[in-house]
């Protein structure tokens, strides 16, 4: 007989740029999303969940070429329809954010939705990008948007909600700042400089975006001839004269004060620009609305250095940054930085309907926010595992199952050891790996005498680490109690370590 060819075993690996989340990583995120949803709900926002999959046509930004979808999204073509698949199938793709699906949803369901439509959405998005350390191709976003409201009151509301949200998830006041700017003011400054060239305008915007990193002197260099960066590489400048660069620097350094001062500085920086004046007036209105609700400069400030990329924003833009310092991978102090951003975009729905629909919204980077809370020690403490009922006699599994049922009915997380019970040491090792607070033991002898042994594993571990022999003897970490007192004694131990 011919030898059977064995198929090679598949590799047990996540695809490149994807990862698995275990235990508290999952539940902490779920809790944070729930808290954020609570704030959004209180502000009148309604939940929306669209599918992960959209037509490439509806997503719009990335269009597949003939053979293969463009970079940026994960896309594929549906099987064709009809005789010999005469009609080619649609291109489908995984959503890359939650805003493009919102525009599609609003255009599709606009006759049934309230106007304005406040909605929140939370869930994973996918980017077909080169993964890097800490950069994944699937990550969570948590968005709130108001569609159909032209008033900047909608923008102000979202800034206030963002501040409330950060506090509610555990970032105390003083550890964050919501920074607000307006693209119209930026455009006014560029107009005032007499920059007609689109590429040069974009280059100036990108330079402004670097202000936080390189400071005033750095921006002056980058607007002019260029700059040697920290790594020794020479970065080409935009090529402006010092006189041309001056309004940009004046503009950039005019912020983070009381709103009234910043606004006065901005008014000077935009000169006679019409669009600039409109932008300043909008910021003024936002500042007034926020002040009326008690949001002072300790929570929300006007900050001209906020740019938010070169994307689709048309008016107010905002960003939430965490202001406390952390140590980076090289042990240097740096600010934690941005965890959320957004702004006004007025053209996304127009793609579908031809009618301009004003919209504004914010997106919270949930994974970064979780990392910040871990950094501050506000989450990620040890979560105790279940109480483990050990198996001394495999014929009496029913007795042990009855014990865990009692514990669970009392609301205590508990499980029976389900591995091979032969080696008792393995059972205790298992309890250790599960970070169990207590183990329950009932051998034939205990059964006969109507008692159980309960090991306090947290105390036991502590004693094993710190205690002298005398202490060990004085403070036993194992108790014998009547079987009927099982639940009470376990609860006593749990309360002791709570």
In the complex, least distance from residue 4 CB atom to its own copies, rounded to whole angstroms: 15
Exposure b/e, 17-32, CB count within 10 A at least 16 = b: beeeeeeeeeebbeeb
SS3 167: helix
Which residue's CB is nearer to its own copies, number 264 or number 397? 397
Beta bridge partners of 315: none
Which residue's CB is nearer to its own copies, number 146 or number 207? 146
Contact call for residues 129 and 72 (beta carbons, < 8 A): yes
Residue 481 belongs to what H/E stretch?
strand 478-482
DSSP state of 485: G
Burial class (CB in 10 A: 0-12, 13-18, 19+), 39: buried
Which residue's CB is nearer to its own copies, number 209 or number 432? 432
Which residue's CB is nearer to its own copies, number 211 or number 400? 400
Contact call for residues 301 and 259 (beta carbons, < 8 A): yes
CA neighbor of 287 nearest in space, from 275, 301, 298: 301
Give the DSSP per-residue string, 363-428.
EEEHHHHHHHHHHTTSS-PPPP--EEE--S-GGGHHHHHHHHHHHHHTT--EEE--S-TT-HHHHH
Residue located via tokens 């209105």: 285
Residue located via tokens 């809370």: 373
Contact call for residues 336 and 324 (beta carbons, < 8 A): yes
Q: Residue 98, annotated ligand binder?
A: yes
Which residue's CB is nearer to its own copies, number 355 or number 468? 355
Q: Phi-psi region for residue 291, left (φ > 0), alpha (ψ -120 to 50) or beta?
A: alpha
Q: Residue 308, annotated ligand binder?
A: yes
Q: Residue 99, annotated ligand binder?
A: yes
Q: Residue 312, annotated ligand binder?
A: yes
In the complex, least distance from residue 148 CB atom to its own copies, rounded to whole angstroms: 7
Q: Residue 295, annotated ligand binder?
A: no
Residues in the chain: 498
* φ, ψ at 145 (rounded to 5°): -140, 150
In the complex, least distance from residue 290 CB atom to its own copies, rounded to whole angstroms: 8
Which residue's CB is nearer to its own copies, number 9 or number 332? 9
Which residue's CB is nearer to its own copies, number 42 or number 213? 42
Contact call for residues 317 and 363 (beta carbons, < 8 A): no
Exposure b/e, 201-222, CB count within 10 A at least 16 = b: bebbbebbbbbbebeeebbbbb
Which residue's CB is nearer to its own copies, number 376 or number 408? 408
Which residue's CB is nearer to its own copies, number 274 or number 420? 420
In the complex, least distance from residue 6 CB atom to its own copies, rounded to whole angstroms: 10
Which residue's CB is nearer to its own copies, number 54 or number 303? 54
SS3 220: helix
Q: Residue 313, annotated ligand binder?
A: yes
What CA–CA distance (Å, rounded) separates 273 from 189?
A: 8
Q: What sign results for the dihedral spanned by CA atoms 260, 266, 268, 273? A: negative
In the complex, least distance from residue 360 CB atom to its own copies, rounded to whole angstroms: 10
In the complex, least distance from residue 221 CB atom to its own copies, rounded to whole angstroms: 38
Q: Residue 195, annotated ligand binder?
A: no
In the complex, least distance from residue 58 CB atom to its own copies, rounded to whole angstroms: 6
Terminal Cα distance for the chain, rounded: 67
Which residue's CB is nearer to its own copies, number 182 or number 254? 182
CB atoms < 10 A from the CB of 317, how many? 25
What CA–CA distance (Å, rounded) separates 336 from 409?
A: 44
Binding positions = 97-99, 127, 141, 145, 308, 312-313
Binding positions for L-histidine = 97-99, 127, 141, 145, 308, 312-313
């Amino acid at each position: 007989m011919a030898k059977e060819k064995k198929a090679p075993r598949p590799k047990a690996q996540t695809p490149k740029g994807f990862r698995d989340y275990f235990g508290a990583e999952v539940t902490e995120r779920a809790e944070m999303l729930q808290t954020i949803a609570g704030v959004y709900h209180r502000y009148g926002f309604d939940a929306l969940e669209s599918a992960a999959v959209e037509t490439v046509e509806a997503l719009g930004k990335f269009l597949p070429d003939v053979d293969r979808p463009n970079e940026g999204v994960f896309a594929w073509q549906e099987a064709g329809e009809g005789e010999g698949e005469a009609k080619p199938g649609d291109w489908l793709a995984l959503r890359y954010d939650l805003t493009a699906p919102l525009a599609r949803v609003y255009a599709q369901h606009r006759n049934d939705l309230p106007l304005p439509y406040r909605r929140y959405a939370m869930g994973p998005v996918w980017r077909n990008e080169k993964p890097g350390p800490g950069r994944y191709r699937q990550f969570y976003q948590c968005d709130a948007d108001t569609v159909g409201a032209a008033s900047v009151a909608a923008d102000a509301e979202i800034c206030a909600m963002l501040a409330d949200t950060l506090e509610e998830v555990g970032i105390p006041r003083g550890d964050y700042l919501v920074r607000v700017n307006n693209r119209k003011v930026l455009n006014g400054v560029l107009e005032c400089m007499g920059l007609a060239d689109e590429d040069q305008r974009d280059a100036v915007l990108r330079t402004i975006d670097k202000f936080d990193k390189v400071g005033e002197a750095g921006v002056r260099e980058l607007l002019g001839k260029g700059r040697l960066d920290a790594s020794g590489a020479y970065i080409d400048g935009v090529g402006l004269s010092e006189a041309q660069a001056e309004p940009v620097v004046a503009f950039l350094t005019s912020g983070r004060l009381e709103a009234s001062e910043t606004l006065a500085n901005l008014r000077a920086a935009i000169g006679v620009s019409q669009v600039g004046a409109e932008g300043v007036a909008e910021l003024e209105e936002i500042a007034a609305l926020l002040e009326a609700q008690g949001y002072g400069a300790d929570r929300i400030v006007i900050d001209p250095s906020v740019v938010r990329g070169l994307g689709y924003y048309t008016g107010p833009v905002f960003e939430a940054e965490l202001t406390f310092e952390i140590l980076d991978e090289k042990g240097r102090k740096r600010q934690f930085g941005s965890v959320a951003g957004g702004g006004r975009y007025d053209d996304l729905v127009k793609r579908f309907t031809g009618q301009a629909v004003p919209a504004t919204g914010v997106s919270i980077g949930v994974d970064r926010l979780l990392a910040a809370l871990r950094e501050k020690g506000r989450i990620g403490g040890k979560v105790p595992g279940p109480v483990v009922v050990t198996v001394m006699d495999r014929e009496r599994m029913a007795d042990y199952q009855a014990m865990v049922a009692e514990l669970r009915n009392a609301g205590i997380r508990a499980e029976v050891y389900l591995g091979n019970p032969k080696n008792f040491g393995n059972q205790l090792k298992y309890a250790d790996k599960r970070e169990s607070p207590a183990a329950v033991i009932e051998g034939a002898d205990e059964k006969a005498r109507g008692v159980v042994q309960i090991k306090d594993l947290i105390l036991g571990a502590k004693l094993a680490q710190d205690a002298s022999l005398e202490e060990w003897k004085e403070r036993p970490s194992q108790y014998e109690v009547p079987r009927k007192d099982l639940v009470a004694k376990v609860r006593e131990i749990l309360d002791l370590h709570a």
